[in-house]
Amino acid sequence: MAARAALPKVCIALGLPTTEKLIDQAEKELAAGEHFLEFRLDYLNRPEQGVKAIQQFLAKHPEATVLATCRRHQNHGKYDGLIEDQLKILDAAIDAGAKAIDVEIETAEKVIDKVEHLRAKTQLIVSWHNYEGTPPLEPVLRRMLKVPADAYKVVTTAKKPSDSGKVLALQKAHPRVPLILLAMGETGFPTRVLCNALGGVYTYASPNAVEGTAPGQVSSRVLRNLYRIDKLSKSAKIYGVIADPVRHSLSPNVHNRAFQARRLDAVYLPFLVKSTQLKDFIQLCDSLPVQGFSVTIPHKQRILKYLDHVDLLARRIGAVNTVWKKAGKWRGTNTDAPAVTKPLSKKIKLNKSKVLIAGNGGAARGAAFALADAGAQIAIVGRNPDRVRALAKICGAEPLLREQMNGRRFDALVHATPMGMWPHVNECFFPDQVPADLVFDMVYNPLETELVRRAKAQGATIIPGLEMFLTQAAQQFEIWTEDKAPISVMEKAALEALGK
Ligand code: NAP
């Protein structure tokens, strides 16, 4: 068999009910610069009509590469016909110009000879899907390799973080086997970004304008522009944020842009890690070159027990938001705390100031310790007397309840509750007077909160939450890379992600 042209690196899966819609969507993807398109013939109301669609589309757009798939419903597709008819459709799709076909292993192994006949005419991808989880994959690959093919596609469902590592490990164990590796679902997102860098044949993206065909897919624009999948090498360093939920985090935007600006072979991923999955995530870090990560809700406290070294301030606060690997050991610190004192100390002398902290959660606690260390006189106000008192006691602050606020004024207010945060944009911790002339609101979405609006109306000076976010992110970047953080690039990325 003659050597075959390499397939493009990003495939857009198109599953639509009519040929008109399919062609229309395919043309939109071409216009967006995507040339490798999977036509899911089994998604069409009449799959056999897909052959004509391929012919028409390629006659007009010969530069496109079409992958034809007509997966049977028994094997997680939508095609209702017999294997014989499935193969007939795929054969006709090849004659219509498809450069590759995807045949699921359940069909391929039943009719190896016939499938081999198709392979003589085009590239054959043999695929295996598991929608329930990620079982041991070596037996799966052994089974698949019995069918000669140009590439083997292994698709699982990620239920826990280490499932991504398990899937990607297959490429490491079989560097000479052409593989396409994916773990579906939000937890499996890292596989979509890392598949190509680790040697995979290509990765899948959803169309730029409509829903994709598998859970967890992201658009090619995001994969290429934000995660720079075309630029990452096999030895790219991996960073990320662990959170639940993680989808709305600004950190991937901010850190990936910073890596790009400094031309680093590194990527920053959103890792969905549920509260019970921290140990499993640490296992993932051992199977992939994870060099560091940001930690946010709900892991800031629990992460401590997995770290080899935690600095004194983070230990006193009892929360870590930044982790990195040094000499094979995991180290942790808290960059949220200095991100409170740094912007405040540009405006007031902390050791001569009275600062009110609203809230008694993790962020308030970090602020309280950092401000106490800087010599500020602190008061803490919250809604739960016991919790307010408990925090006030350990950092030498005055405990206050909201109803005790009448007539009290402070040099600065640090607001550390989620009140006013999207979608609760009309909420405000201080319904009447804002009790300070310098107001630091940790909430950054929206950029201008109800508290900020009221404080401005009173003539107060504002430190926006975004400044804290960027200050802590910049410090993380500098810890991880030992390079200066490109602050203006990071700010632009954050504003862009917030739609500004
Ligand atoms: P947390 O640990 O869950 O603490 C939340 C605090 O807010 C608790 O003290 C809670 O009081 C209080 N609270 C919640 N809802 C309230 C309400 N309706 N009325 C009065 N108090 C309420 O969260 P966190 O990590 O400290 O974060 C707090 C806020 O800071 C969040 O909005 C977060 O996004 C923001 N933050 C921003 C940055 C940044 O970089 N800008 C960094 C960290 C955090 P109870 O104890 O009584 O429940």
For 12, list phi and psi in degrees, rounded to 5.
Answer: -100, 120
CA of 173 to the centre of ligand 1 (A): 45
Q: Residue 457: which domain range?
A: 347-463
The count of domains in the chain is: 3
Distance CA 265, CA 285 (A): 18
> What pLDDT is stored for residue 402 in this prediction?
87
Annotate 169-190 with b (16+ C-beta within 10 A) or e (fewer): bbbeeeeebbbbbbbbbbbbbb
Q: From the CA of 364, how far away is ligand 1's center (Å)?
A: 7
- pLDDT band, very low/low/confident/very high, at 439 (cuts 50, 70, 90): very high
Domain assignment present for 474: no
Does residue 3 have a pLDDT over 80?
no
**What are the residue ranges of helices labelled H in 37-137?**
50-60, 83-95, 105-108, 112-119
User: Could you identify the atom of ligand 1 that is nearest to the CA of residue 417?
Assistant: 7
| pLDDT tier, 178 (very low <50, low <70, confident <90, very high otherwise) | very high
Tens of pLDDT, residues 312-370: 999 999 999 999 999 999 999 999 999 999 999 999 999 999 999 999 998 999 999 99
Q: Residue 434: what pLDDT?
A: 96
Residue 286 has a CB neighbour count (10 Å cut-off) of 10
Domain stop point among 229, 257, 290: 229
Considering the domain architecture, whether residues 273 and 211 belong to the same structural domain is answered as no
CA of 417 to the centre of ligand 1 (A): 3
* 55 and 183 co-located in one domain: yes
Q: What is the CATH number of the domain that holds 264?
A: 3.40.50.10860
Determine contact, residues 381/401, Cβ cutoff 8 Å: yes
- The dihedral built from the CA positions of residue 104, 110, 112 and 116, taken in this order, carries a sign that is negative
pLDDT 10s digits, 114-155: 999 999 999 999 999 999 999 999 999 999 999 999 999 999
- Name residue, tokens 């107060």: 460
With respect to residue 129, please indicate whether it lies within any of the assigned structural domains.
yes
Percentage of residues in the chain with pLDDT exceeding 70? Answer: 98
Residues annotated as part of the active site: 300
315 shares its domain with 377: no
Which of 250, 417, 451, 498 to mutate to test ligand 1, by most ligand atoms within 8 A of the CB atom? Answer: 417
Q: Which residue has its alpha carbon closest to ligand 1 atom 8?
A: 361
Is ligand 1 within 6 A of the CB of residue 361?
Answer: yes
In a domain, 354, yes or no: yes
Entry pTM: 0.94
Residue 403: pLDDT over 90: no
Same domain for 209 and 248? no
- Are 434 and 375 contained in the same domain? yes
Domain annotation covers residue 57: yes
Are 40 and 128 found together in one domain?
yes
pLDDT at 2 over 60: no
13 CA from centroid of ligand 1 (Å): 41
Atom of ligand 1 nearest to the CA of 359: 9
Q: Is the CB of 384 under 6 A from ligand 1?
A: yes
Q: Same structural domain for residues 365 and 424?
A: yes
The pLDDT value recorded for residue 324 is 98
Residue 65 has pLDDT above 80, yes or no: yes
**Ligand 1 neighbourhood includes 222 CB (under 6 angstroms):** no
> Ligand 1: does its nearest atom lie under 6 Å from the Cβ of 444?
yes
Ligand 1, atom 13, residue with closest C-alpha = 417
Look over the chain and give the mean of its residue pLDDT values, rounded to a whole number.
Answer: 95
Do the domain assignments include residue 167?
yes
- Model confidence pLDDT, tens digit, residues 206-216: 888 665 555 56
pLDDT digits (tens, 9 = 90+) for 30-50: 999 999 999 999 999 999 999
Q: What is the pLDDT of residue 432?
A: 87
CATH of the domain at 358: 3.40.50.720
pLDDT for the residue numbered 215: 56
Instruction: Answer yes or no: do 127 and 38 share one domain.
Output: yes
CA of 421 to the centre of ligand 1 (A): 10
pLDDT digits (tens, 9 = 90+) for 246-257: 988 999 999 999
How distant, in Å, are the alpha carbons of 133, 135, 163, 201, 258 from that of 166? Answer: 11, 9, 5, 18, 29
CB of 442 within 6 A of ligand 1: the answer is: yes
Q: Is residue 160 one of the residues assigned to a domain?
A: yes
User: Is residue 340, in this structure, part of any structural domain at all?
Assistant: no
User: Token pair for residue 289?
Assistant: 């070159």
Q: Which of 196, 229, 262 is the last residue of a domain?
A: 229
In a domain, 468, yes or no: no
Asked if residue 212 has its Cβ within 6 Å of ligand 1, the reply is no
What are the C-alpha distances in Å from 129 to residues 43, 78, 89, 155, 385?
A: 17, 14, 21, 5, 53
Whether 367 and 454 share a structural domain? yes
pLDDT mean over 382-403: 95
Residue 224 shares a structural domain with residue 246: no
Domain boundary among 197, 229, 261: 229
**How many Cβ atoms sit within 10 Å of the Cβ of residue 298?**
16
Centre of ligand 1 to C-alpha 301, Å, is 15
421 touches ligand 1 (CB under 6 Å):
yes
Count CA atoms closer than 13 A to 465's CA, side-chain side. 22
Measured CA to CA in angstroms, residue 349 lies from 65, 254, 303, 341, 345 at distances of: 64, 30, 33, 10, 6
Q: Rounded to the nearest 10 degrees, how much is the dihedral formed by the CA atoms of 88, 91, 96, 102?
A: 110
Residues 192 and 283 grouped into a single domain: no
pLDDT at res. 208:
81
Residues 27, 94, single domain; the answer is yes
Is 216 touching ligand 1 by the criterion CB < 6 Å? no
